[in-house]
Amino acid sequence: MGRTLVELFYDVVSPYSWLGFEVLCRYQHVWNIDLRFRPAFLSGIMQATGNKPPAMLPKRAEYMLKDVKRMAKYYQVPVQMSENDFQRILRTSTLPAMRFITAIDMTQPQYLEPLSREFWMRFWSQHEDISQTENILAAAEQAGLSSEVAQKGLEMISTPAVKNRLKETTEEAVKYGAFGMPAVVAHVNGKPHLFFGSDRLELLGSVIGEKWLGPVPSVPSPKM
């Protein structure tokens, strides 16, 4: 049996994307899948589809605050969310961070997983402004990038190549049917299957013929 390609479209502004990201990172060593990270821009997806941020609907924001806390505990991901975060999200653009992540994906893709995780940690656990250059470079250093690679990535942020790559990835997510994030696309028998949110991973497993073992699966022991 060949491995199933599973694409994860995400933006570090989305706490649900962080939850889905961590669980899929765990399952890439358990399920027979090729996990491909697809950094995209959530605002672009919402603009294209007419979607609105949760904070625009008070009752939805109230529910989301409770929901993220419950899911963070269940998924064992250190998301720290408060009522102030909704205004913080509206004030902060993740476009520089997502362009930087895209630049690193284009040049040093082996750092994509730790770098994305570091941006989530800084934005959702440490409540830093990840649009600031010094925080972008600090995230890169913590993720293991050399200062030279990080500086090159920073310089690439304003280039047409990076801007177009992020735009194209965002448009690709919309073509798959995404209206928010995370958007997970599994390719089964030549057809894409879209799953929205971090709470559809059990269903994802069912569609690709894999067993759901909970949010923190144990990695099988090597066979003797």
pLDDT digit string, tens, across residues 40-82: 999 999 999 999 887 778 898 899 999 999 999 999 999 999 8
Please provide the average confidence, as pLDDT, over all residues in the chain: 94
List Cα–Cα distances, 78 to 17, 117, 123, 124, in angstroms: 13, 11, 11, 8
Task: Say if residue 182 is preceded by a cis peptide, omega within 30 of 0.
Answer: yes
Among 90, 86, 68, 88, which Cα is nearest to 78's? 68
Q: Are strands 183-188 and 4-10 parallel, antiparallel or unpaired?
A: antiparallel
pLDDT at 9: 98
Residues 145-171: what's their mean pLDDT?
98
- Band (pLDDT 50/70/90 cuts) for residue 1 is low
Q: What is the pLDDT of residue 219?
A: 56
| Overall average pLDDT of the 145-161 stretch | 97
pLDDT reported for residue 52: 87
Residue 141, C-beta contacts closer than 8 angstroms, at least 6 positions apart: 147, 150
Helices 133-142 and 112-120 sit at what angle, rounded to 10 degrees? 130
Local confidence band at 221 (pLDDT 50, 70, 90 cut-offs): low
Integer Cα distance of 32 and 18 in angstroms: 22
Angle at 113 between CA 107 and CA 116, to 5 degrees: 90
| Token pair belonging to 97 | 């961070």
Residues 84-130 pLDDT 10s:
888 888 788 999 999 999 999 999 999 999 999 999 999 999 999 99
Tell me the CATH architecture of domain 4-208.
3-Layer(aba) Sandwich (3.40)
